[in-house]
Structures are given as C-alpha cells and as structure tokens.
A and B are shown apart, each in its own frame.
Chain A
C-alpha cells in the first residue's frame, strides 16, 4: 500500500503565528486533500487540490487557509494567523484518481497545538 508522509509530526505555535504543514505526495497520485480532526471528533474535509488548483473547499477553509505545491512536489497547507480553535490533527490524503474506486490514503497527520 502506498505511503503518504507528512511533516512535521507535531507543531506547537503561538496564537496569531503562521504555520505551514507539508505533505509528500505519492508520485502517481493526482488528487490531494486536507482534512482536520479536532480531538475526539470526526474527520472534517478542508480542501481538495487537483492539477495545481483548488477543486473543492469546505466552509471551514476560509481566508486564513491556503494550499499550494510550491516546488511541484510537496503539497502544503498554510494557516496565516492561527487561532486556538485551529488546534487539531491535520491529515493529508491522496488518491490516484485513475480508478473508479477513489480510495483515499491518509498520511500520519500533523498535530497542531496553538497556545
């Protein structure tokens, strides 16, 4: 099974600071997603990214968030001015998009703690 990697595994930041979370994609995968999970709650969709642009986003994904593939490889999620309520696990997921099954593979996650 393909492995998705994310860095860092844990990020601690002060409220108002910017953070960048990174995901290393699987080479033949076309679709990328960011999900978040507040402790003890469900997994929530943030944004999907295809062909170097956003294809879908949820109401959670406001102006404080942005995504890009700055070097054509890593896929990043930036939070410009973190709030306490941004504390959560952030998961990157990918799918090849070449199969009707569309199974999504999740990375190990980044635990973001905003103080």
Chain B
C-alpha cells in the first residue's frame, strides 16, 4: 500500500521554509526521500531507518516517527534549485526490497 504525501503542492519564495509529510498505514523499516526535476530521474536525498539512523545530504533534514509511521522532510531557506517533485518511498524490511512511492509533492520556488 502506497504512502500518502501531503501537501500535493507547495509554492514558495526564495528563503521560505516548507515541510512535506509522508505517512503509511503499515509498519516501516525505512523511509527514503527523492527529488525529481522535470524529465530527469529521481535523485536520492535522504534515508531514515527505524531506530533513528539516517543518511543524506547535509542541507536536508527529516524526521521519522516510527510509532506513527510518519516522516517529514524539512526544506529551510529554500533556493530556486529546490524546485521539483519530492517523493517519499517506503520499504518494510531491510536491504533489497523494492520501494513503494507516494504520489509526490510538487515544490515551486520563485525569486
């Protein structure tokens, strides 16, 4: 079952902040965040594991609430380059399983 993302779209001016949420009805092992620009492949941003470990880009922060099966991606002081569609992907067991992606959140940052 696919995770649910909210909001569907966000419009920001440079320097503003945004939060993108991802929730699942099933217990999760990890949550992955990707950004996709139009016509390009998804680019890995961050992964958060059950138990608190995480790995990703320095300028990206996120949280994972295991009990609520929810994750949030925090985009602070947004830049024009942050524009794109953000997908969360979830998996339920360790290593090797496929990701089930949400429908995405489109972020538009203007100057």
Contacts and interface: CB of A to CB of B under 8 A. Distances in A.
B43 interface: yes
A108 B40 contact: yes
B64 interface: no
A18 interface: no
A101 B96 contact: no
A66 interface: no
Q: How large is the interface on A (under 10, 10 to 19, 20 to 34, 35 or more residues)?
A: 20 to 34
Interface residues of B, number: 28
Interface of A: 1, 30-31, 33, 41-45, 48, 50, 55-56, 58, 91, 95, 97-109
B91 A102 contact: yes
Contacts of B41: 91, 106-109
Nearest to A55: B96
A31 to B, nearest CB: 5
